Amino acid sequence: MRFDRRTFILGAAAGGLLSASSSRSTAASADGPAVYFGGENGTLYAVGMETGRERWEFDTGSRGVSSPTVGNGSVYVGSTDNNLYSVDAIDGASNWEFDTGKGIQASPVTTGETVFCGSGTGELYAIDAENGEERWRFTTGKRIVSTPIVGSTTVYVASMDGSLYAINRTNGTQKWEYDTSIPIPNSPTIAGGAIYFTDNNTNLHSIDVQSGEKNWAYTRVSRSITTPPAVFDGTVYFGTAGGDIHRIDVATGEREWRPYDVLGVPVSPLEVVSGVIYFGTDNGNIVAFDTGPEDNRWRYQTDGDVRSWPTVVDGTVYVGSDDATFYAIDVKSGGEQWTHRAEAAIRSAPSVVRSPGDGYSTRSRLLFKPQQTEPEAAATATATPTIEDSGPGGNADTSEAGRTAPVTDRGLLPIGAAALGVGGLGAWLLLRGGSDG
């Protein structure tokens, strides 16, 4: 079945502006596992997780969209047309849209009841997930292009004004601010009670998650840092414009080994799974290499830059390319499983959902995929989540340790993908049982 539907929504919560969006279904509706991703033509795509067959498209009519995230049967995605959209995960119909006043590059994050999203206005919004009404907003000094980290009681967000902010999740008041005076374009990552992020002056920062005080800063990088930090097994990894990956000890802030030459500049966020780092390069490669003695495992050549955040689920790497193709690649062999051809470059992080009607993203970060447990919540751990777990509560940690970390107070988990990359840049592993507020 094929049809075109034009949807006009009066955005009361968005200041009463009238705007339009278009949804097209290309297959019978199905509530099976799905992958959601955005194109640089302003279109949000939904395809089957196992086949890559298109289910629907949602056209925002803009130049591009952020990485999507999914929760409670809705897909949330930001657009360069200033709007945050809520779209039905099954058929692609528009639920509501919220006008932030400027373009959205940062990936939204949902806890089930609230959607958190940064805007080009420099404001972080908390929006009711059901009706699209604003709950609160927090104003920074410049635009926000990175994905927020949502904890059980705190939201962390970086701004191009050079500061990292900790904000009360319930009422939007500031808890603390860490000022670098240098723009922060990449999404932060939380692991082991610390927040890690990079700035535009080739510095890697480690900040205490509770106090906002500096642990250390690594400043000995000669070329621009091109990726957000990824944490695995006590080590922070990041890529540079020199075509290499650096490895920094989380405890000391010292480099653990010489930079690893990856034969291309890493231009996507890094995804670390079971000791293997997956990322894209500016010469069209999707790369997997081992953090241990095996080094490089495989590389898959595409026909464009790979800036999309790779997402690994059930033995498959899902990732887009500037060649307007979305790829599903076997994690062990690097062999192609399926591809889906879009109409423009694909730079968003994919969001993979096993049950689109009521499930949550097992990955997504648009860029971004940051995070982990807030220290004050750790004492209430009651269970150990796996990649199959889903539900509202906040972002999960991108560190490998986060994949087996305990569930914490009110649902904040450590994940396996943003956050944030920019906006994450992300993938979110969410666990049912948390509450919002």
Determine the Cα angle at 209 with ends 195 and 253, to 5°.
Answer: 45
Average pLDDT score over residue span 386-410? 31
pTM of the model: 0.81
How many other β-carbons are positioned within 10 Å of the β-carbon of residue 282? 18
Average pLDDT score over residue span 32-51? 95
Q: Is the pLDDT of residue 295 over 80?
A: no
- The residues pairing with 248 across neighbouring beta strands, listed in sequence order, are 236, 255
Regarding beta strands 244-249 and 260-261, do their DSSP bridges make them parallel or antiparallel, or are they unpaired? antiparallel
Q: Which of 325, 426, 435, 433 is nearest to 76 (CA)?
A: 426
- Contact indicator for 305, 324 with CB cutoff of 8 Å: no
Q: What is the pLDDT of residues 226-251, one digit of tens each?
A: 999 999 999 999 999 999 999 999 99
Q: Which pLDDT value is given to residue 400?
A: 38
Q: What is the pLDDT of residues 198-217, one digit of tens each?
A: 998 889 999 999 999 999 99
Q: Which pLDDT value is given to residue 225?
A: 93
Q: Which pLDDT value is given to residue 30?
A: 61
Domain boundaries, the chain: 3-411
% of the chain beyond a pLDDT of 70: 75
Q: Find which of 217-231, 385-399, 416-430 is predicted with most confidence, using mean pLDDT.
A: 217-231
Confidence band of 335 (pLDDT split at 50, 70, 90): very high
Confidence band of 356 (pLDDT split at 50, 70, 90): confident
Q: Is the pLDDT of residue 376 over 90?
A: no
Q: What is the pLDDT of residues 298-319, one digit of tens each?
A: 999 999 999 999 999 999 999 9
The answer to whether the Cα torsion of 207, 426, 32, 59 is positive or negative is positive
Q: Could you tell me the fold of the domain covering 3-411?
A: Methylamine Dehydrogenase; Chain H (2.130.10)
Q: Which pLDDT value is given to residue 274?
A: 87
